[in-house]
Each structure stands twice: as C-alpha cells, then as structure tokens.
Amino acid sequence: MHPAIQSGAVALVTGGASGIGAEIARRLTAMGLKVAVADLPGPALDAVSGAQAFAADVSDPAQVAALKQQVEARLGPVQVLFNNAGIQPGSDIFDSAGTWQRVIDVNLGGIVHVAQAFGPDMAASGKPGLIVNTGSKQGITTPPGDPAYNVAKAGVKAFTEALQHALRGMEGCQTEARLFIPGWVYTPLTSRGRTEKPAGAWTPAQVVDFLLAALDQPDFYILCPDNDVDRATDAKRILWAAQDITENRPPLSRWHPDFADPFADWLKS
C-alpha cells in the first residue's frame, strides 16, 4: 500500500457520505486510519459511521478553510486526501437548465479549493502524503451530452497534472498527487432513477478495489475499466480523441457521421 496510507494516519474524503467516497472512507477506517468525511449536510452525512463527519460545501473557500481547522482540531494534520466530491445534474451547451456554474464550482472549484487548503501543509510536513483527485473519462474524451461536467473534469485533469509536477519539484516533499479516473460505476450520482445496477457498471466496492491496488504502483493515471469497457478500448478511445487535433479532424469526430466507420475500424484494428 502507498506509504501514506498507514494505521493512525489522518485521511480526509470529500464527497464521502455516499457512493465511491463512502466506500473509500469505509476501507480506510477498516485499515486503521483516522478518517474525516466531508459532505453537504443532510441524511447521508448524518448516517456516516466509523468516521468523523464534517458538513462543508467544497465550492466555498471559506467553508473549506473552516473544514481544515475543524479536521485538524479533532483528528490532526491530514496525510491522505481523497478529493472526491462531485455532482452531475446534467447540462446543455447554452445552460438552459442553469446548472453550469454549480457544476464548475463543485467539480472543479471544489478540487482546487481543497487541494490548495491542505496541500501546502502536507508538502511541508516531510512525511509521506497522498492527494487523489477524482476525475472522469468524460474529462478526457469529452463525449457529447453533458458539456459542463466534461469541462469541469477536463480541468481536474489539468490541475492534477500541474499539482503533481509542482509537488515533485519541492525539496523534501514526500507528498504526491494521483488522478483517479473511474469507469462506469453504479452510485447515487449515476443511477438516473435506476434501482438495480446495470450489468455493465461496476459497484463502488469494485472500483475502490482497483483504486487501492493501483496505489501500490507508481501510476499517476488510475484509469479504471468496467464490465463494458476494458483498458485496451479506453486507450483507443483516448488516443482517437487526441488525434482529432493531430489529424485535423472535426472535434468529437468519434460521434461525427463522416467518421463513424473509420472509428469502428480503428477499434477493431
């Protein structure tokens, strides 16, 4: 396991009251870490057990600063940060639903605010530290249908890459950042009204198994498969998206009618 993840260390999981975050918090607690869960106030946060619960909206820098003070006063300095809070209410390109600002504020702003609040002390401590930011494949291949979410998660990717670059250049710093890229996971965020897990989706337990195993390795990009998409298919989709630029194709050519057959052939090749 990663050297920062050790019994007695303090861990913070944002968005930890449900879904993947709740599973991460449960696993860390079972491993003997002192776990703080931060989430919006409500029944899910009230039901947290085994970890210390803190109400906070990560989109608000003042609430994040207060969260840091509260966690440190109750548990001590954070060594392990799973920056996981996120929302997905849906969006359209001209924001007729009025969701853009909130999605950007939580899914990108929240990651930035929390990392900027906790990261400097983690880096300066000289102790092993770990910051895992939850991104998305939608922030890499940017499929049509939810542009605000894609923009936010693309920002998380760019921010986390810059964060890791900065951390590795700090003298004496033993804190590192990783980008966690889940596949299709059945959670309250993704259920869309379904009451049973689709066959193609992983459970939170499966994706956290993959995440914790990956933290044993030096991989920065923790790219998770699911029951529908394997690693090789993900790699081809990501490479095709990058080649829209290098091959001067139309944007999102994977979904362009003129490129449907070439893309299908590419996947088979």
pLDDT tens digits along 130-177: 999 999 999 999 999 999 999 999 999 999 999 999 999 999 999 999
Q: Which of 82, 100, 118, 149 is catalytic?
A: 149
Known catalytic residue at 186: no
Per the CB < 8 A criterion, the answer to whether 237 and 141 are in contact is yes
Query: What is the pTM (predicted TM-score) of this model?
Result: 0.95
pLDDT, tens digit, for every residue of 172-214? Answer: 999 999 999 999 998 776 656 666 768 889 999 999 999 999 9
Share of the chain above pLDDT 90, in %: 93
Whole-angstrom distance, CA of residue 23 vs CA of residue 4:
18
Q: Where in the chain is the domain with CATH 3.40.50.720?
A: 10-229
- Phi, psi dihedrals of residue 28, rounded to the nearest 5°: -65, -40
Mean pLDDT of 18-25: 96
Mean pLDDT of 98-111: 98
Pairing, β 129-134 against β 221-223: unpaired
Q: Pick from 241, 184, 265: which is nearest to 250 by CA?
A: 241
* CATH numeric code, 10-229: 3.40.50.720
